[in-house]
Amino acid sequence: MSDFVERMHEELKQLKEKKDKLNDFIDNNLKFKELSNIQRILLINQFNAMDLYYFALESRIEYIND
């Protein structure tokens, strides 16, 4: 596997870990509910951007492997 594909796999792995942690914070941490509305919205927007980027990166990897 080429270096750039390996880097994409590593980036995907790291992104999944970060995305999962943020999702857990949003869904399960009482501190999230204590944040201001704008802070909650911004964190949800951040999660959505990470999720979209995860999908794009995963799609690129699948396309390369086809």
Domain coordinates of the chain in residue numbers? 12-65
pTM confidence score: 0.89
Sequence-distant (6+) residues with CB within 8 A of 23 are 47
Q: Binning pLDDT at 50, 70 and 90, where does residue 2 land? A: confident
d(C-alpha 37, C-alpha 42), whole Å:
9
* Residue 9 buriedness (CB in 10 A; 0-12 / 13-18 / 19+): middle
Lookup: tokens for 43: 């964190």
Question: Which residue type occupies 41?
Answer: I
State the DSSP code for 35. Answer: S
d(C-alpha 40, C-alpha 59), whole Å:
29
Q: Binning pLDDT at 50, 70 and 90, where does residue 66 land? A: confident
